[in-house]
């Protein structure tokens, strides 16, 4: 009984860890995409500024 309850808790915990890791990876991907987008926007803005000058 005790082992069974413990095992299910362990499974819940490992499932949570899995979800956390997946969420972290999604966040990291989104952040890197955002970084690329920002760099692209900055270079465009710089180019526009140099044209305006």
Tell whether the model's pLDDT for residue 13 goes beyond 70.
yes
> Which DSSP string corresponds to 5-27?
HHHHHHHHHHHHHHHHHHHHHHH
Which one, of 15, 17, 22, 44, lies nearest residue 30 by Cα? 22
pTM comes to 0.56
More confident: 30 or 53:
30
Tokens of 40: 């692209």
Q: What is the mean pLDDT of residues 7-36?
A: 94
pLDDT-derived band at 49 (thresholds 50, 70, 90) equals very high
pLDDT-derived band at 1 (thresholds 50, 70, 90) equals confident
pLDDT, residue 53, reads 66
């Amino acid at each position: 009984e005790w082992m069974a309850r413990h095992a299910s808790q362990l499974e819940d915990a490992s499932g949570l860890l899995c979800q956390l890791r997946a969420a972290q990876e999604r966040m990291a991907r989104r952040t890197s995409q955002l970084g690329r987008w920002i760099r692209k926007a900055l270079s465009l803005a710089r180019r526009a500024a140099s044209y305006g000058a």
